[in-house]
Structure 1
């Protein structure tokens, strides 16, 4: 669960800082980006409905891992954006969801994996992409990562409130 907190906080940080430089990102799109930062981990639904069960029920080979790819998050972002009313809202929702999801994927790249390589090749599926060596900065269960995310988010939160006070 700490991993999700980290992804949501970094989605908040990224889109709050981007809101300082763009006119269309406001609190609502920051919240949508925070939701988008969880999209790649929707592949964890496999814990409830396994690949084997769905393959049996549907009758064709099925796997949830495709959600944690660039194509998967583009598809999920499009579905999420389609739920909103107007064209400009759909476009902004798509960009916010996709931006949050891509921030999640970028944060996952430097994790430490048993074989010493990034999961970059699975992100690009079906396009062949080499697995690059990982710097191995952290494991997703490390507590210091969520502490860094909380500290950075707090600094951005205070800075954002200070900017709003100066703007008045």
Structure 2
């Protein structure tokens, strides 16, 4: 069940652990990376607004599925980064949003598909569709269990480090 919650948990684990080595990667930036991990699933907006309605409105071919690609993640990350004030904050936000979206696409790249290949996740660079190793099906609950366990371990280690950091005399 590597859906929204699993993707957010994976991003939490990755960015919190990276924050132990990167000084500026504090919890508020971890959340930015977690938001990035949700960006590819914005393609599910097609359940509310049909592709054909947007196509008729714009007068050009349109498909929501393009959001669930590297190009879609980069485009949405650029738009999201504009919400930050300072140039340094915008660059960090863009990098974390792209990295979060990349973690989402990487987890989806190993999912089992009926046809044996994934979507064209590297679009617009290439239309290549990788043969999937089929490690899990999106309905497998063990994926969520592993993500929860990893997030719990990282949370405990992070909290313990934070407490020790505050208790140590300087």
- Give unpaired runs (5+ residues) of structure 2: none
Please give the residue correspondences for 1:116-155 in structure 2 after superposition, counting only pairs within 5 Å.
116-119=116-119, 122-128=120-126, 130-155=128-153
Pairs within 5 Å for 1:39-58? 39-58=39-58
Q: Which residue of 1 aligns with 2:106?
A: 106
Q: What is the CA RMSD across the aligned residues, in angstroms?
A: 1.4
Q: Which residue of 1 aligns with 2:84?
A: 84
Q: Distance in 1 between matches of 2:153 and 2:79?
A: 33
Count of residue correspondences: 166
Q: 1:160 to 1:8 in 2, by over 3 A?
A: same
CA distance in 1, matches of 2:37, 2:125: 23
1:161 maps to what in 2? 159
How far apart, in 1, do the equivalents of 2:10 and 2:2 lie?
Answer: 12
**Structure 1: 5+ residue stretches without partners:** none
Shift of 1:167: 2.1
1:62 aligns with: 62
CA contact (8 A) 2:112 2:136 kept: yes
State the 1:147 CA deviation: 1.1
Q: Which moved more, 1:149-158 or 1:60-69?
A: 60-69
Q: Secondary structure at the match of 2:3?
A: helix
